[in-house]
Amino acid sequence: MKIIIVGGGKTGATLAHTLTDEGHDVTVIDQSADRVSGICDNNDVMGLIGNGMNYSALSEAGISNADLLIAVTGSDEQNLLCCLFARKNTKCATIARIRNPMFLAETEFIKEQVGLSMAINPELEAANTISRLLRFPGAIDINSFAKGRAEMLTFKVPKGSLLDGKSLTYIRSKVEAKVLFCSVERSGEWHIPSGNFELHAGDKATIIIQPREAPKFFRQIRMETHSVKNVMIVGGGTISFYLAKQLLDTRISVKIIEMDEQRCHELAEKLPGALIIHGDASDKNLLLEEGIESTDAFVALTGFDEENVLLSLYAKEMADAKVITKVDRLIFHELIANLELDSVIYPHNLTAEEILRYVRAKQNAMGNNIETLYKLVENKVEALEFNIGENAPGLGIPLRELALKDNLIICGITRGRRFILPDGDTAIQPGDQVIVVTGRTKLNDFKDILK
């Protein structure tokens, strides 16, 4: 596909890398020559210095032949105008980043009026992800499937737990909860585990399970599942606002520490149920005074990756708390992966995944659209949810008889309102939604999983 990205900031750079890696023809427009050259130097893309609201710049970038325009400048209004110009003059599909909480209630109306294919809000997506993690603190990562009927949870196997040194067959015989192990990461290597696969302490295991079954499963394997009652958030940006609002709605106590006094007043007005502290969270005395040692969860959401990482490491040392760290720059990914942090959130990755799902769905050959897509295990593994069309291959055939490609597993099927953990006798039917975990990245269609 020919794709134009307007805006060369962190999100634009992440999208350029992701989409070129998928083999798409990408052009980036930005007013900053340094940003354009930086993206072009690191990716196989075309760069154009200009303003995406100027139709001549869009024309020079090839908007008349483009399949998709993605507007991710720092201004919601500019993003909407770029998309409006493109839609009024071409048949190009459009995606706009809309971040301002003021537009949240109007998102569907704006999409309809501007003709957007998708509106994305990285800060809201990040807040949703953090909120899920705080609901289940034992998980490193949680991804939602089947419109919330199933979740994919990643957790670290504790030393001495019921799982340590046991095969999956043994574990299934000892737990009553309905669960399926999708993948295991061990020492940087990824495995699709069979029944005789033995888990070891330190493994990062990923399971698929229904939300109501998850507490039962973790209780049975004797892992801590205490719910969060109070949260300390450092940084008062947009993610913090969205997150605090969600937590307060579920009666969780929220404390936000923010350096900017004016922002503190704004947050206090918009979040009357939260305690807003004006101060510098890098001052450990302030953190101690505000109760870091007794907090159930600590979320580092400042605008500086280094500060977020250091504050999170300090929180882990001082408290038995769930610690969540926001990181924007991917260049630190490998280094951060080696640190003993609980959960790390990359907002730009969340945006890229959402757009990549849309792009792959547009490319599908037989109507088996990708409903959901998540990158797992440092982008080496993907979890995809396919809508199964009438003409999909393999319908009605038991899974044990399907000629599946290596390095993948069908780990969930939604049929109507029912979620099914499949076994060898399960057969796929038209209208199903099928969840696949695979090390074969860049799958566009359900047929791609068959030999």
Per residue in 239-251, pLDDT tens?
A: 999 999 999 999 9
What pLDDT shows up at residue 365?
A: 54
Q: 369 and 386 in contact (C-beta within 8 Å)?
A: yes
* Cβ neighbour number for residue 156 with a 10 Å cutoff: 18
Per residue in 405-433, pLDDT tens?
A: 988 999 999 999 899 999 999 999 999 99
Average pLDDT over residues 230-256: 96
Calpha distance 138→131 (Å, rounded): 13
Calpha distance 238→257 (Å, rounded): 14
What pLDDT shows up at residue 90?
A: 87
**What string of H, E and C letters represents the secondary structure of 43-97?**
CCCEEEECCCCCHHHHHHCCHHHCCEEEECCCCHHHHHHHHHHHHHHCCCEEEEE
Calpha distance 26→4 (Å, rounded): 6
What pLDDT shows up at residue 2?
A: 95
| Contact partners, residue 188, CB within 8 Å, separation at least 6 | none
What pLDDT shows up at residue 333?
A: 67
What pLDDT shows up at residue 444?
A: 83
Whole-model pTM? 0.87
What residue has token string 């299934």? Answer: 172
Average pLDDT over residues 15-40: 94
* Cβ neighbour number for residue 49 with a 10 Å cutoff: 16
What pLDDT shows up at residue 188?
A: 80
Per residue in 84-93, pLDDT tens?
A: 999 888 889 9
Mean pLDDT of the chain: 91
Average pLDDT over residues 127-143: 91
> How are beta strands 370-376 and 275-278 bridged, if at all?
unpaired
For residue 361, name the pLDDT band (cuts at 50, 70, 90). confident
CA–CA distance from 60 to each of 4, 57, 65, 208, 411 (Å)?
Answer: 11, 5, 11, 47, 46
Using alpha carbons, select from 113, 110, 114, 120 the residue that is nearest to residue 5: 120
DSSP 91: -
Average pLDDT over residues 265-279: 96
Q: How far apart are the first and last CA of the chain?
A: 25
Residue 62 has, within 13 A of its CA and on its CB side, a CA count of: 16
Calpha distance 303→154 (Å, rounded): 26
Average pLDDT over residues 19-48: 94
Per residue in 307-328, pLDDT tens?
A: 999 999 999 999 999 999 999 8
More confident residue, 161 or 302: 302
Report the percent of the chain where pLDDT is more than 90: 66
Report the percent of the chain where pLDDT is more than 70: 96
Calpha distance 213→179 (Å, rounded): 8
DSSP states along 254-280: EEEEES-HHHHHHHHHH-TTSEEEES-
Using alpha carbons, select from 418, 428, 425, 422 the residue that is nearest to residue 450: 428
- List, in order of start, the domains of the chain with CATH numbers: 2-120 (3.40.50.720), 138-220 (3.30.70.1450), 230-345 (3.40.50.720), 356-449 (3.30.70.1450)
Element containing residue 209 per DSSP (H, E): strand 204-209
Calpha distance 163→223 (Å, rounded): 10
For residue 219, name the pLDDT band (cuts at 50, 70, 90). confident
What pLDDT shows up at residue 368?
A: 59
Average pLDDT over residues 207-211: 94
Helix residue ranges, H only, 259-369 = 261-270, 284-289, 305-318, 333-337, 347-363
DSSP 32: -
